[in-house]
Amino acid sequence: MALAKRDPESFLAQRLASNETSIRIRALKTLRKYISLRSQKIEGGFTSDDLLKIWKGLFYCLWMQDKPLLQEELSDQISGLMNSFCTTESQLLYFETFLQTLKREWNGIDRLRMDKFFQLVRFVFRQAFGMLKRKEWETSMVNNFLKVFTTHLLQSREGIPNGLVLHILDVYMTELANIGSAELTADQNLTFIDPFCNTMAKSKDRRLVTSISKHIFSSIVDQASFAIEDLRKELCEGRGADSDSGQASEDEEETVEQDELKINWRANVVNGGSSGIKFKWPFF
């Protein structure tokens, strides 16, 4: 009897989860090429089932990796596979199946392996925000991203590991600031926190509400003074306000001082501090 032919995704997943480091490395390189070639086709793109198989292999590929520096490199490579997809729909599906995979596997991760999966989460969200940036924060793309995010993490709490959600809340604003703080408008930033507003208004999960308050809204309050200053400048520019030379000089000195504070503060963002994105106040 002839053996049933395995699909490429199952074959690659098995190779990615191999005990042999060399086999895993070759499988990852092959996967990158396979994703690029297949996603270029008008027909025959990836399905959710295809990417779930691939993500299972990638999950155990990272599971098997020792040594922190190699784990960081591998997490960067795995998250970077998002850029190998030729369509934004496939990129978003890669992100969605990533969330599905972690929801399924999270509670099985032991304490010694948790840090590298924390890192993977951060890197994948960084790539996802980078994808939106390359699309110039196009409204429909942002809405599709937020729909996936909300559906899998906020809308229904059944079967969603608390540790995963809490970590995502911890990195969400920081990674958004790292990617988009220089160009996102206050109104665009409000769109990115809208799912959290809706969740806090409806959720009965006290722990989730407390975590959203701490990691999302407290980080916004922390940088309120800078947001108010930005808004004041926008209003002045919009009105075409002019001042005399003495006042202009004073304002210039104040601006330099504020800019220095912003540089120091946003450096804190890069190192894992509060978010550095703008909001109009009051925004509630």
User: At CA 236, angle to CA 235 and CA 237, rounded to 5?
Assistant: 90
What pLDDT was estimated at residue 140? 96
The secondary structure of residue 17, as a DSSP letter, is T
What pLDDT was estimated at residue 127? 98
Mean pLDDT value across residues 171-182? 92
Kindly report, residue by residue over 13-50, the tens digit of the pLDDT.
Answer: 999 999 999 999 999 999 999 999 998 876 668 999 99
Q: Does the structure show a pLDDT above 50 at 95? A: yes
CA neighbor of 31 nearest in space, from 5, 52, 57, 6: 57
Kindly report, residue by residue over 275-284, the tens digit of the pLDDT.
Answer: 556 665 444 4
Kindly report, residue by residue over 226-247, the tens digit of the pLDDT.
Answer: 666 666 776 777 676 555 544 5
Query: Which two tokens mark 106?
Result: 């999270």
Alpha-carbon dihedral of residues 6, 56, 82, 113, nearest 10 degrees? -150
Alpha-carbon dihedral of residues 152, 123, 74, 141, nearest 10 degrees? 60
Residue 181 near residue 220, CB atoms below 8 Å: no
CA neighbor of 125 nearest in space, from 104, 152, 107: 152
CA neighbor of 92 nearest in space, from 149, 133, 32, 136: 149
Kindly report, residue by residue over 130-155, the tens digit of the pLDDT.
Answer: 999 999 999 999 999 999 999 999 98
Q: Does the structure show a pLDDT above 90 at 266? A: no
What pLDDT was estimated at residue 283? 44
Kindly report, residue by residue over 246-260, the tens digit of the pLDDT.
Answer: 454 555 555 545 554
Kindly report, residue by residue over 181-226, the tens digit of the pLDDT.
Answer: 888 888 898 999 999 999 999 888 888 999 999 999 987 777 666 6
Q: How far is the C-alpha of 82 from the C-alpha of 92, rounded, in Å?
A: 8
pTM: 0.81
Largest CA distance in the chain: 92
What are the angstrom distances between the C-alpha of 143 and each of 123, 125, 140, 147? 21, 15, 5, 6
Residue 191 near residue 146, CB atoms below 8 Å: yes
Q: Is the peptide bond before 195 cis (omega within 30 degrees of 0)?
A: no
Q: Is the peptide bond before 161 cis (omega within 30 degrees of 0)?
A: no
Mean pLDDT value across residues 103-129? 97
Q: How far is the C-alpha of 212 from the C-alpha of 31, rounded, in Å?
A: 36
pLDDT-derived band at 268 (thresholds 50, 70, 90) equals very low
What are the angstrom distances between the C-alpha of 21 and each of 15, 74, 137, 196, 276? 10, 12, 38, 41, 39
What pLDDT was estimated at residue 275? 54
What pLDDT was estimated at residue 241? 52
